């Protein structure tokens, strides 16, 4: 089975590891997001931070939108967490983001554990 967006995923996870190795666990999510933005810029990795998506429900656009933490390489959603563990709720959140964005891959990355924890979610 082919791994979707393999090379790009490795680059993103590599930058996440760089951030986690330098900061460790325990910071607020925003700190990790700021550090990731620095690393992506330094490496020339294209990204949009807090990219807004409209939610279409039965043909109408709902008044509230969702914001992906990052869309990297214009095709991968990166959802950043700083919690004690990845839960099913976060996985469900990523699945919903993929549906709304019509992208195929989300990376759910948790900086809140002693070792960086990540999960690939493919639609």
DSSP per position, 62-108 = -S--EEEEEEETTTEEEEEE-SSS--HHHHHHHHHHHHHHT-SEEEE
Give φ, ψ of 71 to 5 degrees. -115, 120
Instruction: Specify if 10 maps to a domain.
Output: yes
What is the per-residue pLDDT for 92?
Answer: 95
Distances (CA, A) of 92 to 17, 38, 98: 24, 28, 10
What is the per-residue pLDDT for 1?
Answer: 72
Instruction: Specify if 41 maps to a domain.
Output: yes
Instruction: Specify if 76 maps to a domain.
Output: yes
Query: Which stretches of the chain score pLDDT less than 50?
Result: none
The CA distance from 27 to 98, in Å, is 27
- What's the number of domains the chain is made of? 1
Instruction: Specify if 111 maps to a domain.
Output: yes
Give φ, ψ of 87 to 5 degrees. -115, 170
| Chain Cα centroid distance, residue 111 | 12
- Helix (H) / strand (E) element for 51: namely strand 47-53
What is the per-residue pLDDT for 12?
Answer: 98
Kindly report the CA angle at 47 between 95 and 91, in degrees rounded to 5?
Answer: 15
Instruction: Specify if 99 maps to a domain.
Output: yes
Instruction: Specify if 1 maps to a domain.
Output: no
Name the residue range of residue 90's domain. Answer: 6-122
What is the per-residue pLDDT for 2?
Answer: 80
């Amino acid at each position: 089975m082919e791994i979707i967006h393999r090379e790009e995923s490795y680059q993103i996870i590599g930058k996440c590891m760089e951030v986690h190795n330098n900061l460790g666990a325990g910071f607020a999510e925003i700190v990790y997001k700021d550090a990731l933005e620095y690393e992506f810029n330094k490496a020339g990795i294209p990204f949009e931070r807090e990219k807004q998506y409209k939610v279409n429900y039965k043909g109408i656009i709902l008044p509230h939108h969702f914001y992906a933490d990052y869309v990297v390489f214009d095709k991968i959603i990166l959802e950043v967490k700083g919690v004690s563990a990845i839960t099913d709720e976060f996985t469900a959140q990523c699945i919903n983001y993929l549906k709304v964005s019509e992208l195929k891959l989300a990376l759910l990355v948790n900086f809140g554990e002693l070792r960086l924890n990540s999960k690939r979610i493919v639609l």
